[in-house]
Amino acid sequence: MTRTRVHGIIFGPQGCGKGTQGQLLSDRYDLPLLGSGDMFRAEIEAQTPLGKIAEEYVARGMLAPDEVVNAIIKKRLKEIATDRGFVLEGYPRNVEQAESLDRLVKINLAIHIKIRDEEAVRRLIGRRQCVHCRSVFHVEAAPSAMAGRCALCGHALIKRDDDQEAVIRQRLIAYHFMTEPMATYYRQRGVLLTVNGEQPIHFLFQELVKKMEKLGFAA
C-alpha cells in the first residue's frame, strides 16, 4: 500500500480533546498543527489588515464571517509547505468552510472525535487553564500537582468564562447545527475517520493511529 502524508482536519464537540490529539498527531507524524485560534491571535497581534477586521468581531463577541476566516486560513496555508502534510484544528467549522478548504488543498483525512453532550459538559466545567503558558488541567481527571497553579510554569490556573454550563450547552447546540454535518460531507468523500473520544487520551490515540495505519498514512 502506498504510504501517504496526512493532509487532514480534526473536529468534534467542545471538550472532546481534539487539541490534545492534534498535538499528538503532530508529534508522531512530524506535521505542523494549525490551530485556527492561534492563527487568529497571530493576525490580530501583528495588526495585519485581516487581523484588524477579525479583532472587530472578537471585541464584539461575535464569530468572524466565513470570508474572513477563509482568508486567514488561506494565507497561513500559503506560508507552509503543504506537501509535507498538516493537521488543521478548529477549522473548518461548517460545510461552507469545508468547501472553501477543498478549493485550496485536497483533504485526505477528516478525523471526527465523538463524545456525548453530558461528557462534554462534565469535562469543560472541570477545566482549568494556565494564564501564562495556556496548559490545560482538569480538577478531577488531570489535576495540577500545585493546587490552583500550573505545574509546568507556576502561574495561576483559571476557569475560562465560557466554561459555564449554560454557555457550554449553547455552544454544543451550535456545534450540532453547524459543525457536525461535516461528518456527512467528509464521509461522502471517503476520507472520514471516526473515533470514540470517551476513553483515556493514550487509548484514544492508539485507536487513532491503528486506524490511520490501516489507511496507509506514513509516520
Report d(CA 151, CA 145) in Å as an integer: 6
pLDDT at 210: 95
pLDDT under 70: residue ranges of the chain: 1-3
CA atoms within a 13 Å half-sphere pointing along the CA-CB vector of 152: 11
One of 122, 123, 127, 128 is an active-site residue; which one?
A: 127
DSSP 175: I
Read off the amino acid at residue 95.
V
Decide if 186 contacts 205 (C-beta within 8 A): no
Catalytic annotation on 93?
Answer: yes
pTM for this structure? 0.88
For 123-140, the pLDDT digits (tens) are 999 989 999 988 888 898
Catalytic residue (choose from 93, 122, 123, 128): 93
149, 171, 187, 211: the catalytic one is: 171
Catalytic (active site) residue 3? no
Tell me if residue 160 is catalytic.
yes
Q: Please say if 60 is a catalytic residue.
A: no
Structural domains of the chain, with CATH: 7-116+180-209 (3.40.50.300)
What pLDDT is attached to residue 175?
95
Say what the pLDDT of residue 80 is.
83
Catalytic residue among 18, 122, 123, 128: 18
pLDDT of residue 1: 41
Residue that has been written with the C-alpha cell 496548559 in this structure: 135
Q: Is 74 a catalytic residue?
A: no
Exactly one of 106, 160, 210, 214 is catalytic; which is it?
A: 160
> Residue for cell digits 470570508?
67
Do 19 and 89 form a contact (C-beta atoms < 8 A)? Answer: yes
